[in-house]
Amino acid sequence: MRKYKSQRVAVFVDVQNMYHSAKNLYNANVNFAEVLKTAVANRELIRAIAYTTRAETASENTFFDALEKQGFEVKIKDLQIFFDGSKKSDWDVGITVDTIKLADKIDSVILVTGDGDYAPLVQYLQENKGCVVEVVSFQETTSSKLLELVDDHINLSEDKGKYLINYHPQQRLRKNNNLNIKRPLNK
């Protein structure tokens, strides 16, 4: 997809979706500064918003501050804990509302998530607002329906060293190999 300097873009990051994808796939953290830089691609950034959840951990304020220093407006919700002990962190509606509110002021909506729940939003933005919709995510954890609909996809898995923090491919390889090694029985 062609990208022009004069394109006005807004970036919307589903932090929990990206955090869990990176942890589950690579046992690493997302380098959100690099993700933002790649997503914007030298175009005119109108807004970059990171949507996250407060889980009452000691390190989260440092993380929130780091996101702000990287150029994100940070929106925070408290983690919902239900009677049965289950927990939920859900920003789908908030992200959807914000993208629709900004759609008339931008040319391209960039969703940093692999969540297929955004498929109707993608269609709405394309068909009713004339926006180009791009997704930045790890392809392995991205909805195939979302990939079918978007105008462009940046697969962060193609350059793990750039988009992940604390990523150690040798350690991950050893961990995976240890699961498959068959050891002879001692007699």
| pLDDT over threshold 80, residue 100 | yes
In angstroms, the CA 187 to CA 185 distance is: 6
Strand-pair category, 44-54 with 29-30: unpaired
What pLDDT does 174 receive?
A: 42
What pLDDT does 162 receive?
A: 96
What pLDDT does 11 receive?
A: 98
Query: Given pLDDT bands bounded at 50, 70 and 90, which one contains residue 171?
Result: low
Domain boundaries, the chain: 8-180
| pLDDT over threshold 60, residue 183 | no
| CATH of 8-180 given 3.40.50.1010, 3.40.50.300, 2.60.120.260, 3.40.50.10680 | 3.40.50.1010
Please tell me the least confidently modeled range out of 43-47, 83-87, 123-127.
83-87
| pLDDT over threshold 90, residue 97 | yes
User: Coil, strand or helix: which one is 126?
Assistant: helix
Computed over its alpha carbons, how large is the radius of gyration of the chain? Answer: 18
Please tell me the least confidently modeled range out of 17-26, 56-65, 78-87.
78-87
pTM over 0.75: yes
What pLDDT does 86 receive?
A: 61
Tokens 């954890």 sit on residue: 141
Question: In the chain, which residue ranges form alpha helices assigned H by DSSP?
Answer: 15-26, 32-40, 60-69, 92-102, 119-128, 144-149, 160-163, 169-180
What pLDDT does 38 receive?
A: 98
Give which of 133, 127, 72 is closest to 106, Cα–Cα: 133
Query: Given pLDDT bands bounded at 50, 70 and 90, which one contains residue 79?
Result: confident
pLDDT tens column, 109-131: 999 999 999 999 999 999 999 99
| pLDDT over threshold 50, residue 182 | no
Could you please report the per-residue DSSP string of 2-26? Answer: ---TT-EEEEEEEHHHHHHHHHHHH
